[in-house]
Structure 1
Amino acid sequence: MYSDTAHSGTPTSTAPSAPTWDPQQYLRHAGHRTRPFLDLLTRIPELPTRPARIADLGCGPGNVTALLADRWTGARITGFDLSPEMLERAAKEHAGPTTGGGRLDFRHGDLAGWLPEEPYDLIVSNAALQWVPGHAGSFGAWINGLRHGGTFAFQIPGNFTAPGHALLAELCDTPRWRSRLAGHGARYIHILEPAEYLARFTALGCSADVWETTYHQLLQGPDPVLDWVKGTALRPVLTALGDDREAADAFLAEYRDRLRVAYPAGPRGTVFPFRRIFAVARKEA
């Protein structure tokens, strides 16, 4: 899947390693992961045609793709993802006719090279583009693939300097783990700041709305931050360790101990701040 650090997204084939995704783990925090997408939907303007044609880039297990059918009844919606595990879950749970007379389907697609094969009214991506180095370079082609008056919208994590990521990068580069995991904890330097995304879209002739929000999430359960990142940022690490269960358990124990210090549990849960970056770009009508 293309996912956040969970929609819902999966790394591309150009990444250092292609993680194996676990849809069930990813969906354990579906409520918190879905909220940014719902906030994004409220800012997407009316689409130019009905029924709408929509692409969801990095659809993951399809849970937020299905929300598009609720917003645009009758739409024909295709979710694209690189992960076979995520696509299998999405197809099983969500593919087929929708109650509004539209249809959902899911296809394999690597966002590093994805191009619109037909005109779209909306191209949307939820917590996926952070896995795609150089993704801003595709904006021109994606905007060109929209109908006039169509919209490209996305949200991505903007928390890659937060303690959870910093500690992961630090641990991967320790002598014990460097030979197997060097670079796996610091993969997101290609994420742009909101002003940079705004500049990209205005240069393409779009009207654009770009903003950021930090959600202060109260997570429940033992070691909930570790449980969160097991569904996203830790996937490349766990994939690199493969079937070496002893090594994986040792790494997780070290990382868990560091996270407990950085994100201490409180009487009502563990506060986990999470910054998100949003963009809505509308092609001229």
Structure 2
Amino acid sequence: MPQQLLVLFLSFQLTTNVGGYWGKIIGGHEVKPHSKPYIAYLEVQDVGLPFRCGGFLVREDFVVTAAHCNGHITVTLGAHDISKKEATQQKLQVESYYPHPEYNGFVLLNDILLLKLRKRAVLNENVTVIKLSKSNEDVPDGTKCVLAGWGSVTANGRRVPKKLQEVNITVLDWSKCKQIYNRHLTSDMMCAGYEEGACIGDSGSPLVCQDTVQGIVSFGRSPCANRTPTVFTQISKYTNWIHEIMAKKSDILYS
């Protein structure tokens, strides 16, 4: 996969693919079960070892994740403990994959992927959609947000949880983040966290600020959250594109 070329510098992927999984939450804790009903657990099968990513439901039949979470994906909604077959879980197959047309896996530009589900999710108290940020809406530095996922809970990426984790995280000034990541940071990205944040397995997970999803976990440095921020794809730069894809591929009628 192209993004593996970034492994020594930027990507959350490890050359060892520890346990076959990517991603994590550093500095967080287990969430109250089913308190994040919009979040999706993604099992990704690729030519190498299987791995996990996060995602989030934006319509009954569409999930958003990171484009570098490519492969054959199975989506699980309504999960808390992914080691169990919980009664709340809905396991759904993907009908179609829509990576951004200008996605670049070498430098993780436009790192966003839409998944059209074969069946619509059944919305209930454990499975709901989440609101997208408005087009080109900026998130001020210092904004308090929440990141949730099933990624590793240790900075070396070697301990992955069974239960959904979350961490409070603060948006970092873009220019300060640019100093850390230099040319690898673009205007379509945003940063949050410093000594807490995402890691192996959290790719594609949502950054939620005041009940609105503002970012998608894209990349960071290893060891995770070691005085370096997590970089997110900024949703507001892609809101119109998301709605265009969903409108073209809709089998749902709205009034």
TM-score (normalised: structure 1): 0.29
Q: Name the larger-Rg structure.
A: 1
Higher strand share: 2
TM-score (normalised: structure 2): 0.31
